[in-house]
Amino acid sequence: MQKRKLGKSGLEVSAIGLGCMGMSFSYGPPKDKQEMISLLRSAVERGVTFFDTAEVYGPFINEELVGEALSGLREKVVIATKFGFKLDPNGGPKWIGLDSRPEHIKQAVEGSLKRLKVQTIDLLYQHRVDPNVPIEDVAGAVKELIQAGKVKHFGLSEAAAKTIRRAHAVQPVTALQSEYSLWTRTPEKEVIPTLEELGIGFVPYSPLGKGFLTGKMNENTKFDSSDFRSTLPRFTPEALKANQTLIELLNNIAEKKKATPAQIALAWLLAQKPWIVPIPGTTKLHRLEENIGAADVKFTPDELREIENASSKIKVQGARYPEKLEKMTGR
């Protein structure tokens, strides 16, 4: 597996990382713990060094899973986690708001260190921008944690360009994690140019469109009520049907390149910038291997232009989040 550096930070990771959320959270009931430990270790054996989790995934159980699976492999891996949600004090499964107050960040980090079984968190993201806490205070709190040796690198998630600049002025931002793929291209307008200017890496989550870009879904696909896609406007039967045009495009390119639609979607992201590192999630070994294989798919400038021309004519139907969640992005 090739390596990439996240911007100018010097943090080097595998060109494709692994998003761990779906192993415990959001995509139906939690998966079998031993199977997921085995999958995480298989990822390391295949050259994946970058693993993404968060305290809110579960809550807590995803960090515990990642900590247990990777505990003997600390020197080989980079673990990223996130703070910023206010969790139910009664231990319920739902978050109840945002909380990026400095004292809460420090508390969250102590919990994450224990669950991940590490002395230092490699990359710590603010999960969503908290409108009630100045971003300078957030960056300052993380700066103190870096000085204390508890955190190595600072990241933001779904932040707007102006917020990234303000945070970066207090504590250099190593990476931004936001949704980016052939069907969610919002970051291209302002965010990606800002990252390029400041030397910040980009970690696209949902690089396969929450599974849609694998080409395995259509209007008849049903989602369990515990699968959060059942609440997303882009996953209604009407939207799934309308958006098949994008899958047809991916299928055509995949055929020419002797690859799968998922590999084309990931390879396209890798081709955008050398400091982009997608983190597709999976719970299956054959999908992990397929995703890793995307790093070997290369495009000529002409092929990239062809994809750009064809995809720019496709209007994706459906909002990516319900209004409440959409309001938490781009702040």
Are the CB atoms for 69 and 41 separated by under 8 Å? yes
φ, ψ at 82 (rounded to 5°): -140, 150
Are the CB atoms for 322 and 232 separated by under 8 Å? yes
DSSP three-state, residue 223: coil
Tokens found for residue 61: 């159980």
The arrangement of strands across the sheet holding 121-126 comes to 18-19, 50-52, 78-83, 121-126, 151-157, 173-179, 201-205
- Is position 57 annotated as part of the catalytic site? yes
Sequence-separated contacts (24+) of 256-260 with Cβ below 8 Å: 257/297, 259/293, 259/294, 259/297, 260/214, 260/215, 260/290
Q: Exposed/middle/buried for 152, CB within 10 Å: 0-12, 13-18, 19+?
A: middle
Q: Exposed/middle/buried for 31, CB within 10 Å: 0-12, 13-18, 19+?
A: middle
- Is the bond leading into 59 cis (omega within 30 degrees of zero)? yes
Please report, as a single letter, which amino acid is at residue 68: E
Which residues are within 8 A (CB) of 166 and not within 5 positions of it... i.e. 6 or more apart? 135, 136, 139
Given the residues 27, 57, 125, 180, the one annotated as active site: 57
DSSP three-state, residue 154: strand
Tokens found for residue 116: 């991940």
Are the CB atoms for 281 and 20 separated by under 8 Å? yes
- The catalytic residue positions are 57
